[in-house]
């Protein structure tokens, strides 16, 4: 068990599939259940004991900056640091650039469009309780694909009985999709992280997926299945369905 004190919210994406809603608004500031997705993520991180969060931004970064300033003025924690990216660095490059601000211990990372409702125990606390630095470089929150209202393709991962994750092989269907919530160890970003990622790494831009694959090869990527509700938010209809579910009263946001 660990107790992360630092986290990152990944909010620099262009979110082209969510257009036209994201023509003039970053995806992380779209609203669901009466609050922005960014506020929801920061609220959950604060409840999990996170003291400091790095938020990266690119598309309409001024709006992200203003939203963080409003939270600071209202004394809504946790403390936040804006990481402006003139060129989007993708998930891996964004976290790698923020590492000096994230400390030497494992930290949480949340996609800016991740929206979940906790089960009996908050998901971030479950991840922290399950994270074993001796065995893991990354622990991902996963959702059963069969429970997702939206397109999941062939799924993202399979788990062995001990929770170690792997990718689906050719013609194989994976039962779990990544929920956009995770705990990462700084060791995942070794000195050769960029070089191991892709040819684009010279510009500092690469996906965390490249580092997941390397962790899989080392047996150090693990998954934890979410025991609450998670919403797939890729397109405007996805957002509409999620809002309708919350309004129906069948599922309830808890803050």
- Which of 83-92, 142-151, 201-210 tops mean pLDDT? 83-92
| Residue 26: φ, ψ to 5° | -65, 145
pLDDT at 123: 97
Rounded distance between C-alpha atoms, residue 178 and residue 92, angstroms: 15
pLDDT digits (tens, 9 = 90+) for 220-233: 999 999 999 999 99
For residues 48-67, average pLDDT: 96
pLDDT at 146: 87
Strand order in the sheet with 79-84: 79-84, 52-57, 6-11, 107-111, 176-184, 138-144, 221-225
How distant is the alpha carbon of residue 39 from its chain centre? Answer: 14
Q: Contact at 8 Å (CB) between 100 and 58?
A: no
Residue 255: pLDDT band (50, 70, 90) is very low
Residue 219 lies in a domain: yes
pLDDT at 201: 46
Q: Contact at 8 Å (CB) between 180 and 235?
A: no
Residue 253 lies in a domain: no
For residues 156-179, average pLDDT: 94
Domain that holds residue 69: 6-248
Beta bridge partners of 176: 144, 157
Q: Is the pLDDT confidence value at 63 over 50?
A: yes
pLDDT digits (tens, 9 = 90+) for 125-139: 999 999 999 999 999
pLDDT at 150: 65
Max distance between CA atoms of the chain, in angstroms, equals 52
Nearest residue to 116 (alpha-carbon basis) of 214, 207, 48: 48
Rounded distance between C-alpha atoms, residue 237 and residue 255, angstroms: 25
Q: In terms of DSSP bridges, do strands 35-36 and 107-111 run parallel, antiparallel, or are they unpaired?
A: unpaired
Q: Is the pLDDT confidence value at 200 over 50?
A: no
Rounded distance between C-alpha atoms, residue 6 and residue 53, angstroms: 6
* Peptide bond between residue 20 and the one before it cis (omega within 30 degrees of 0): yes
Residue 89 lies in a domain: yes
Higher pLDDT, 183 or 245: 183
Q: Give kind and range of the element (H or E) at residue 69.
A: helix 61-73
Domains held by the chain: number: 1
Residue 76 lies in a domain: yes
For residues 189-198, average pLDDT: 62
- As given in the structure block, the two tokens for residue 92 are 């891996």
Q: Is the pLDDT confidence value at 198 over 70?
A: no
Residue 217 lies in a domain: yes
pLDDT digits (tens, 9 = 90+) for 69-120: 999 998 888 999 999 999 999 999 999 999 999 999 999 999 999 999 999 9
- What is the CATH classification number for the domain harbouring 152? 3.90.550.10
Residue 137 lies in a domain: yes
For residues 170-181, average pLDDT: 93
Residue 255 lies in a domain: no
Q: What is the CA radius of gyration of the chain?
A: 17
Residue 196 lies in a domain: yes
Count the alpha carbons within 13 Å of 114 in the hemisphere toward its beta carbon.
30
Report the percent of the chain where pLDDT is more than 70.
91
| Residue 44: φ, ψ to 5° | -70, -40
User: CA 18, 23, 26, 31 torsion: positive or negative?
Assistant: negative
């Amino acid at each position: 068990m660990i107790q992360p004190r630092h986290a990152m919210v990944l909010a620099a994406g262009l979110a082209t599939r969510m257009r036209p809603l994201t023509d003039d608004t970053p995806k992380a500031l779209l609203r669901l259940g009466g609050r922005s997705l960014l506020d929801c993520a920061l609220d959950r991180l604060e409840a999990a004991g996170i003291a400091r969060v790095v938020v990266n931004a690119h598309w309409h970064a001024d709006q992200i900056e203003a939203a963080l300033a409003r939270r600071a003025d209202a004394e809504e924690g946790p403390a936040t640091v804006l990481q402006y990216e003139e060129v989007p660095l993708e998930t891996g490059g964004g976290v790698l650039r923020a590492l000096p601000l994230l400390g030497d211990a494992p930290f949480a990372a949340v996609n800016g469009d991740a929206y979940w409702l906790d089960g009996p125990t908050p998901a971030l606390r479950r991840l922290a309780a399950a994270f074993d630095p001796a065995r893991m470089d990354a622990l991902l929150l996963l959702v059963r694909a069969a429970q997702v209202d939206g397109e999941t393709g062939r799924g993202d991962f399979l788990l062995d009985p001990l929770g170690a994750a792997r990718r689906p092989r050719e013609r194989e269907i994976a039962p779990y999709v990544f929920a956009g919530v995770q705990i990462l160890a700084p060791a995942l970003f070794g000195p050769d992280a960029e070089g191991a990622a892709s040819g684009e790494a010279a510009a500092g831009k690469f996906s965390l997926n490249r580092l997941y694959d390397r962790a899989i090869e080392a047996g150090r990527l693990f998954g934890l299945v979410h025991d609450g509700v998670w919403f797939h938010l890729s397109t405007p209809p996805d957002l509409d369905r999620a809002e309708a579910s919350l309004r129906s009263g069948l599922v309830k946001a808890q803050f």
